[in-house]
Structure 1
C-alpha cells in the first residue's frame, strides 16, 4: 500500500513536470520571435518585418503576371515605406527603423485585384 502523502507528492510533481514541459516552448517562442509576417491568400505573396536590422521584405510568390506591393504606415497613416515585387526571382527589400515610439502597420496588396491584408499595429 502506498503512503497517501507520497501519492500526493508524486501527483503534484507529475503535474508540475507536465506544466513546465508544455509551457516552456511557448514562452520561449513569445520571447525570441519578434519578426512579423502577413500573407496574401492563395499563395500570392508575403510581407515580412525582420526585427534584426529593421528590414522589410515583400515577396511575390505566384507567377500569375501580377506583382505585390507592401506599405509600412505609422499611426498617423503616413506612408513610411513602399516596396514592390514581381517578375523576378528575388524579393523586394528595404529598411526602416520602427523604434519604440509610435505604432506601425504593414499592408500588403496583390496588384491583380487590389486585395489587401494588414498586420496588427506594432513597434519594437
Structure 2
C-alpha cells in the first residue's frame, strides 16, 4: 500500500512539473520594440498592443510606418496589417492592433518620408 502512495506521489509531482514547464511561455515578459532615426521613431507597447509613431524633426517631411502580418499555419498568407504616419501636426499618432501568438508573425517597419532606408524589426510574435 505504501508503494502505491509513493508511486502516486511521484506521478503527481512529475505531472505538476510538466504543467509548470509547458505553462511558462505564457508568462513571458512583454517585448516592446522601437525603431528610430534622427527624424522620428515608431514604438510598439506590447502590454497594451498600441503602436505609436512620432515625427520629431521640423523638416517639412513626416514619418511613416506599419505592420506586416504573416500567418504560417494552414493556408499561409502575408498582408499589411496597417500603415500609420505622422507629420504636420502636434503630437504623435497611435493605433491599437491585437498582436497574436504563433502561428501569427509580425514585422514592424518605419521610414522617414524624405527618403533613406526603411528600418525593420526582426519577425516577432506575442
TM-score for both structures, normalised by structure 2: 0.67
Q: Which residue of 1 aligns with 2:94?
A: 93
- Give 4+ residue runs of structure 1 displaced > 2 Å after superposition: none
Question: What is the deviation of 1:32?
Answer: 4.4
Task: Report if the CA contact (8 A) 2:30-2:47 is conserved.
Answer: no
Q: Would you tell me which structure has more helix in proportion to its own residues? A: 1
Q: Which residue of 2 aligns with 1:68?
A: 63
Q: What SS class does the counterpart of residue 98 from structure 2 fall into?
A: coil
Cα distance per residue 1:44-91 (max 9 Å; x no partner): 111111012100001111111000001100124411011100012211
Counting matched residue pairs gives 92
Does structure 1 residue 80 correspond to structure 2 residue 81? yes
RMSD over aligned CA atoms reads 1.5
Does structure 1 residue 121 correspond to structure 2 residue 123? yes
Q: What SS class does the counterpart of residue 109 from structure 2 fall into?
A: strand
Q: Distance in 1 between matches of 2:78 and 2:53?
A: 20
Q: Distance in 1 between matches of 2:81 and 2:91?
A: 22
Q: Distance in 1 between matches of 2:116 and 2:59?
A: 14
Q: Would you tell me which structure has more strand in proportion to its own residues? A: 2
Structure 1: which 5+ runs fail to align? 1-30
Q: Distance in 1 between matches of 2:119 and 2:50?
A: 19
Question: What is the deviation of 1:114?
Answer: 4.9
Please list, as runs of the form range in 1=range in 2, the aligned pairs for 1:1-124 lying within 5 A after superposition. 32=29, 34-40=31-37, 43-75=38-70, 76-101=77-102, 102-124=104-126
TM-score for both structures, normalised by structure 1: 0.68
